[in-house]
Structure 1
């Protein structure tokens, strides 16, 4: 663990990972949201949160709307924290990409989604 938020890097859908989902996406994950992984890096002057999960299209649409994300060309697939098997740059290279950035408020939210599988990656960064 790298900060105050609890998470389990090895097992999906633990109580800590689902709590991380709720804390960073603003709603409790329902039973239709599965394979939830969570990581928090809260040391230093900035914070970064990574989530991987599977969700049906209606949930992805709700996340896009609630997080004010806009569809963009997929340039956000860097190797950020590639050490986690559930956080794959190869997946992000091929997925649909959505983003919200507010430099004034120093926040970045990114979502990668594969409509065929329902697989998602979500990154939230405060700087």
Structure 2
């Protein structure tokens, strides 16, 4: 699926000659050219107005990043699922670290607030 290449333009021109006719084809070609020029002027005017409103930040914007054709819905969903899985693993890992730290503190007799708990051995007395 490619763009509009030279061969396709020739085919369109031949079809237009049969549909429109050779006498009216120059008139419609001129109208098409005028329409394309007016579209270009409108786009340039909108770009100039945007540049005036944004100021110097206009040149800093990466316009290719904002192109909607670059977004693949499958990739977006896959990345979101991978990110959720990564967050779940990090959460599990941090919970295990907290549990291990709590167990270490309990073995050493350190309370949750960081104070040292004194334990007495009943059998030693």
Same fold (TM over 0.5): no
Larger radius of gyration: 2
For the superposition of Structure 1 and Structure 2, which TM-score range results when normalised by the shorter chain? under 0.3
Q: Considering fraction of residues, name the structure with more strand.
A: 1
In the superposition, the TM-score normalised over structure 1's length comes to 0.19
Larger relative contact order, structure 1 or 2 (CA cutoff 8 Å, min sep 6): 1
In the superposition, the TM-score normalised over structure 2's length comes to 0.19
Q: Considering fraction of residues, name the structure with more helix.
A: 2
